Structure 1
Amino acid sequence: MSSYLQHHSKPNFRVWINTLFICCCVSFGLSAQSIPLPEHPRPDFERPDWINLNGSWAFEFDKNDQGLAQKWMNGARKFSKTINVPFPWGAPLSGVGDEADIAWYQREIKVPAAWKGKRTFLTIGASDWETTVYLDGKELGKHQGGYTPFSFELTPLLKYDSPQRISIRVDDKRRQFTLYGKQGYGNARGIWQTIYLEARGQNHLDALHFAPDIDNKKVAVTAYLPAAASSELQLELKLAGKTTSHKIVAGSSSVTFDVAIENQHLWTLEDPYLYEVEAKLGDGKGAADVLKSYFGQRKISVVDLPGTDYPYIALNNEPVYLQLALDQSYHPEGFYTFPSDEFMKEEILLARGIGLNGIRTHIKVDIPRKLYWADKLGVLVMADLPNFWGEPDANAQKESEYTLREMLKRDFNHPAIFSWITFNETWGLTTKVEENGKQQSKYLPETQKWVASVYRLAKQLDPTRLVEDNSICCGRGHTETDINSWHEYLPGWAWEEHLKNIDANTYPGSKHHFEAGYVQGRQPNINSECGNVWGYDGSTGDVDWSWDYHRMMNTFRKYPKIAGWLYTEHHDVINEWNGYWKFDRTNKYTGLEEMVEGMSLNDLHSMIYISTGNEISKTVQPGESVKIPLYASFYTNRKDLGKTLTLQIKLYGYDALGQKKTWMTTQRSVPYTPWMQKQLDSLDLQLPNEKCIAHLSLTLQDALGNDLHHNVMSFVVETPAPKAMTLPNGKSAQVLTVAPKDFSAAKWSKKQWNVLDGLKVNGAGSGFFEYTFKMAEKPTGTEAATFIAELGAKQLLVKDIDKSTNVNVDYMLGGKVDPSLNPNAYPMTDEYLSPSTVNVTVNGVFAGRVDLSDDPADHRGVLSWHYQPKVRKLQEAGSYGYRVAVNIPPQALNIAKVSGELVVRLEVPEAMPGGLAVYGDKFGRYPLNPTVVVVKE
Structure 2
Amino acid sequence: MKNLLLSAIALLGSLFGANAQDALIVNTQGRQHVSLNGTWHYIIDPYDTGFYDYRFKERPEKDAGAYWNNSEPKDPTQWTEHGYKAPYNIQVPGDWNSQDKQFLYYEGSVWYQRNFDKPAATAGKDVYLYFGAVNYEAHVYLNGKKLGTHKGGFTAFNFKIPKELLKDKDNFLVVRVDNRRHADEIPTVNTDWFNYGGITRDVELVIVPQNFIQQYNLQLDPSQDIVAAKKKNKYKLSGWAKINTPLKGGKVTVEIPELKLKKEFAVQGDSVAFNFEAGKIGLWSPESPKLYNVKFALGGESVSEKVGFRKIEVSGKKIILNGKQVFLRGISIHEEIPQQIRRAHSNKDASQLLGWAKDLNCNMVRLAHYPHNENMTRVADSLGLMVWSEIPVYWTIEFGNPEVLVKAKKQLTEMIARDRNRASIIIWSVGNETPVSPIRTTFMSTLVKTAKKLDGSRLISAALEVNYQNGVHHVDDPLGQYTDIVSLNEYLGWYGSTPDACRDAKWTVGYDKPFFVSETGAEGNFGFHADKTARFSEEYQEWYYQEQIKMFEERFPDSYSGLSPWILADFRSPRRNNPTYQEGWNTKGLISKNGEKKKAFYVLQAYYKKIMEKELAINKQ
Task: Give the structure 2 partner of residue 302 of structure 1.
Answer: 314
The one of 10, 30, 34 aligned to 1:51? 34
- 2:575 alignment counterpart: none
Whether 1:274 and 2:279 are equivalent positions in the alignment is: no
Q: Distance in 2 between matches of 1:162 and 1:376?
A: 39
Kept after mapping to 1: 8 A contact 2:26/2:214:
no
| Pairwise CA distance, 1:523 | 0.9
Counterparts of 1:159 and 1:532, CA distance in 2 = 54
Alignment-derived partner of residue 89 in structure 2: 82
Conserved in 2, the CA contact under 8 Å of 1:59 and 1:79?
yes
Question: Cα distance, 1:158 vs. partner?
Answer: 5.1
Consecutive unaligned residues of structure 1, counting only runs of 5 or more, are 12-40, 283-287, 305-310, 431-442, 511-519, 593-599, 610-632, 641-673, 675-937
Q: Which residue in 2 is equivalent to 1:477?
A: 477
Q: Does 1:446 align with 2:444?
A: no
Partner of 1:341: 347
Once the two structures are superposed, the pairs formed by residues 194-593 of structure 1 within 5 Å of their partners are: 194-213=202-221, 214=226, 215=229, 217-227=235-245, 229-239=246-256, 240-249=259-268, 252-282=269-299, 289-303=301-315, 311-332=317-338, 337-338=343-344, 340-388=346-394, 389-392=396-399, 393-426=401-434, 443-473=436-466, 477-479=477-479, 480-491=482-493, 492-498=499-505, 501-502=506-507, 505-506=508-509, 510=510, 520=511, 522-533=512-523, 540-544=535-539, 545-558=541-554, 559=556, 560-574=558-572, 575-589=585-599
Q: Deviations over 1:217-247 (max 9, x none)?
A: 12212101234x1422221222233222222
Q: For residues 33 and 249 of structure 2, what CA distance do their matches in structure 1 show?
A: 27
Report how far residue 59 of structure 1 moved.
0.6
Aligned pairs for 1:141-180 (under 5 A) are 141-157=148-164, 161-180=168-187
- Structure 1 residue 399: Cα displacement: 1.2
Q: Which has the higher helix share?
A: 2
CA RMSD of aligned residues (A): 3.1
CA distance in 2 between counterparts of 1:279 and 1:237 reads 5
Displacement of 1:637 after TM fit? 5.2
Structure 2 residue identity aligned to 1:198? V
2:75 alignment counterpart: none
Taking structure 1 as reference, are residues 337 and 608 closer, same or farther at Cα in structure 2, changes over 3 Å only? closer
Q: Is the 8 A contact 1:91 1:333 kept in 2?
A: no
Distance in 2 of aligned mates of 1:127 and 1:244: 38
CA distance in 2, matches of 1:171, 1:495: 44
1:6 alignment counterpart: 10
Distance, in Å, in 2 between the alignment partners of 1:639 and 1:98 is 51
User: What is the SS of the residue equivalent to 1:290?
Assistant: strand
Letter in 2 for 1:267: W
What runs of 5+ residues in structure 2 fail to find an aligned partner? 1-5, 16-23, 52-58, 60-64, 72-81, 469-475, 494-498, 525-532, 573-584
5 Å matches for 1:857-936? none
Q: Does 1:62 align with 2:79?
A: no
CA contact (8 A) 2:50 2:67 kept: yes
Match of 1:801 in 2: none
Number of residue-to-residue matches in the alignment? 533
Which has the larger Rg? 1
1:42 CA drift (Å): 10
Q: CA deviation at 1:272?
A: 0.3
Give deviations 1:145-194, integer Å, cap 9, x for gaps. 22211111224135564221111122333211222378663323131110
Cα distance in 2 for residues equivalent to 1:94 and 1:257? 53
- 2:606 counterpart of 1:603: yes
By relative contact order (CA 8 Å, sep 6+), the higher-ranking structure is 2
1:8 and 1:339 map into 2 onto residues whose CA distance is 27
1:124-159 alpha-carbon deviations (Å, 9 max, x no partner): 011122212222111222222222111112241355
Q: 1:681 matched to which residue of 2? A: none
Letter in 1 for 2:484: D
Contact 1:489 1:533 in 2 (8 A): no
Rounded Cα–Cα distance in structure 2 between residues aligned with 1:332 and 1:199:
36
Check whether the contact 1:454–1:469 (CA below 8 A) recurs between aligned residues: no
Pair 1:184–1:579, CA change in 2 (3 A): closer
2:116–2:172: 8 Å Cα contact kept in structure 1?
Answer: yes
Aligned CA distance change for structure 1 residues 578 and 188 (closer, same or farther; 3 Å): closer
User: What residue is the counterpart of 1:923 in the other structure?
Assistant: none
Measured in 2, the distance between the counterparts of 1:561 and 1:159 equals 58
Structure 2: which amino acid aligns with 1:605? Y
Q: Which amino acid in 2 is paired with 1:64?
A: Y
Aligned CA distance change for structure 1 residues 472 and 254 (closer, same or farther; 3 Å): farther
Contact residue 179 and residue 197 of structure 2 kept, 8 A = yes
CA deviations 1:313-333 (Å, max 9, x no partner) are 111111111221121222247
CA distance in 2, matches of 1:189, 1:451: 27
Q: Where in structure 2 are the equivalents of 1:660-699 lying within 5 Å?
A: none
Give, in angstroms, the shift of residue 386 of structure 1. 0.6
Whether contact under 8 Å (1:323, 1:565) holds in the other structure is yes
Per-residue deviation, 1:47: 3.4
Cα 1:638–1:107 shift into 2, 3 Å: same
Secondary structure at 1:113's aligned position in 2? coil
Asked if structure 2 preserves the Cα contact closer than 8 Å seen for 1:458 and 1:467, the reply is: yes
Deviations along 1:36-61, one digit per CA (max 9) or x if unpaired, are xxxxx999553342111111101111
Letter of the 1:341 partner, please give it.
N
- Aligned-pair distance for 1:271? 0.8
Once residues 559 and 10 of structure 2 are traced to their aligned partners in structure 1, the CA distance between those partners, rounded to angstroms, is: 41
Q: How far apart are the structure 1 equivalents of 2:596 and 2:26?
A: 29
Letter in 2 for 1:634: K
Counterpart amino acid of 1:472? E
Q: Which amino acid in the other structure matches residue 488 of structure 1?
A: E
Three-state SS of the structure 2 residue aligned to 1:369 is helix
Paired residues of 1:212 and 1:296 also in contact (CA < 8 A): no
Q: 1:56 to 1:550 in 2, by over 3 A?
A: same
8 Å contact kept, 1:62–1:104: yes
CA distance in 1, matches of 2:380, 2:101: 26
Q: 1:92 deviation in Å?
A: 3.1
Shift, 1:416, TM fit: 1.1
- Contact 1:303–1:318 (8 Å) recurs in 2: no
Displacement of 1:274 in angstroms is 0.8
What CA distance in whole angstroms lies between the structure 1 residues aligned with 2:345 and 2:456?
34
Q: Which has the higher strand share?
A: 1
Residue 576 of structure 2 corresponds to which residue in structure 1?
A: none
TM-score normalised over the length of structure 1: 0.53
Deviation at 1:485, TM superposition (A): 2.2
Is this contact kept in 2: 1:135–1:157, CA < 8 A? Answer: no
Question: 3-state DSSP class of the match of 1:193?
Answer: coil
What is the CA–CA distance in structure 1 between the aligned matches of 2:43 and 2:514, rounded to whole Å? 51
